[in-house]
Structure 1
Amino acid sequence: MLTPLKTETRRIFPGLAMAGLVAMAAQFLSDHYGAPAMLMAILLGIAFQFLSEEPRTAPGIGMASRSILRIGVALLGVRISLDVVLALGAQTLLLTIAGVFVTIGFALAIGRFFGRSFGFALLSGGSVAICGASAAMAIASVLPRRTDSDRDLSFTVMCITVMSTLAMIVYPMIAGGLGLTGHQTGIFLGATIHDVAQVVGAGYSVSEDTGDLATVIKLIRVSMLGLVVLGASLALRRQSSQEGGKDSGKRPPLLPGFVIAFLIIAGLNSAHLIPDTLRDLANVLSRWALLTAIAAVGMRTSIPGLLKVGGSAIALIVTETLFLMGFILGGLYLMG
């Protein structure tokens, strides 16, 4: 019984170890030079793209880009708590949730005008609306696998991470220029900036209270991840059925296992059944799993392939970002 396990471990270990080393290098650069860890992971991964074609490392890299990714997404559930949601007013909560779903709907509506597929529009729109790179990887895991799947994911993560970093710098200045109060600024930053780390950086650069509120608002968006991925899975199954199974990708499961795990963990955390020590450990494991997975995705992506995505994809992501910003500012104006 142990022999197959030992054989499988030997098969995947070299590639998994390489993805882990790239993730560690990315975190080192982030800790010492302030560079976004996710962006560094994918860029370093691309530099080692040749390893995904090496028989000794390819299986482990493939496993990291899929299974390790789903583990990381499932563990994101420890960031969600019902207490956090209920602490917000009804108007703020409604605006935050509406921003998520309206932005995704907007992305799907305009994607074809930019020459992008339904899958890419969903991938980019979900990334902008929910939680940046983490959302991109979660949504990508339920999209039908195609030859350009890793390319699209890498491209989206890079664009989203760069834009999130720019937003961390520019959005507080926009809030100040518009005369937003500290409370309004916290809502604005938390409801519009893509990645959690950049929300934290932007919020606490204004004030501690603004940072606290921005982080809470951001976690509300993260809590939408399971619901959106489930909805995407159902929509893709329906689309596959209508096409008579002719899609080259595999039909998504009705309810992905990692989404079930995400919801269960979030529920346990909301019920205060997860000890603080275990929650902190799960949070760290989630971050490292996602970092390792995105490094592996980069290792499966070629630069010539990225160049084929085109400027229209960048334009689509920028348009989605501006739409979300305008929607939230409009909502804040109506809320007074």
Structure 2
Amino acid sequence: TGFSPFLWASLIGITAGNALRALSPNGRHTLSPGVAFAKTRLLRFGIILYGTKLTVQKIALTGSAGILADLFTVSSTLLLGWVLGEYVLKLKPQLTALISSGAAICGCSAVAATQTVVQGEAHEVAAAIGTVVLCGTIAMFLYPLFFKFVPALATNAKLMGIFTGSTMHEVAGVVAVGNACSADVAATAIVTKLVRVCLLAPFLLLLS
């Protein structure tokens, strides 16, 4: 079909989850503990295992292009998010910071970390996480199509990897998209993304 098993698994999971909720209202509550365990502890453990692969040598192989792409993405996204939230959408500063950090750095993890600094309300955290998850889910299906149909990306695995790692929100999404494209794309994308995650600490220091 041209689509990776990672994408098929995501599509089947989304379909099954919505079907279960429609057919059996109580089924969702029955499975909630297992789903919560998988999407928190198991997912984070998997990300930690990927993090153990991050070495200076791998960062060097990605080159300055990956680091510069990360710096540009994070700084420009934070700036754009602040302008849109503050002056266009007239959002509260806390919500603006939560959404911007999630989009710029590492998705829901960044939202949760930022919440401890800005002390956002529960509904603001939920809105930020919902925004990040929605955009990340759409990107998971679009990025492999970019790799397949955009010549500049299809012929350059390193470029596609840097593009994926420096722009997608979640580490898990980067892993899925990278492997959906190729092993070379995944390797570069994961390193680029993990370097971007390292920018969370200095961001929180500046924010506080």
Could you state the TM-score of these two structures normalised by the residue count of structure 1?
Answer: 0.46
Instruction: Indicate the residue corresponding to 2:119 in structure 1.
Output: 144
Aligned length: 167
Structure number, greater radius of gyration: 1
Q: How many Å separate the matches in 1 of 2:96 and 2:204?
A: 14
Q: How many Å separate the matches in 2 of 1:116 and 1:176?
A: 38
Task: Tell me whether 1:108 sits opposite 2:82 in the alignment.
Answer: yes
Contact 1:97 1:220 in 2 (8 A): no
Instruction: Indicate the residue corresponding to 2:27 in structure 1.
Output: none
Instruction: Indicate the residue corresponding to 1:304 in structure 2.
Output: none
Contact 2:147 2:181 in 1 (8 A): no
Deviation sequence 1:17-65 (CA, Å, 0-9, x none):
xxxx98742256x6xxxxxx36xxxxxxxxxxxxxxxxxxxxxxxxxxx
Task: Tell me whether 1:154 sits opposite 2:126 in the alignment.
Answer: yes
Instruction: Indicate the residue corresponding to 1:129 in structure 2.
Output: 104
Runs (4+) off by over 6 Å: none
Task: Tell me whether 1:191 sits opposite 2:174 in the alignment.
Answer: no
Deviation sequence 1:147-168 (CA, Å, 0-9, x none):
xx11110121122112212211
Structural mapping, 1:1-336, within 5 Å = 24-27=33-36, 37=39, 79=51, 81=54, 83=56, 84-112=58-86, 113-144=88-119, 149-179=121-151, 180=153, 181-233=156-208
Residue type at the aligned position of 1:167: A
Q: How many Å separate the matches in 2 of 1:144 and 1:155?
A: 14
Could you state the TM-score of these two structures normalised by the residue count of structure 2?
Answer: 0.72
Q: How many Å separate the matches in 2 of 1:178 and 1:214?
A: 17
Secondary structure class of the residue paired with 1:130? helix
Instruction: Indicate the residue corresponding to 1:49 in structure 2.
Output: none
Contact 2:62 2:188 in 1 (8 A): no
Q: How many Å separate the matches in 2 of 1:167 and 1:143?
A: 28
Q: Which runs of 5+ in 2 are unaligned?
A: 1-29
Report the CA distance between 1:82 and its aligned residue. Answer: 5.7
Q: Which runs of 5+ in 1 are unaligned?
A: 1-20, 31-36, 39-71, 234-336
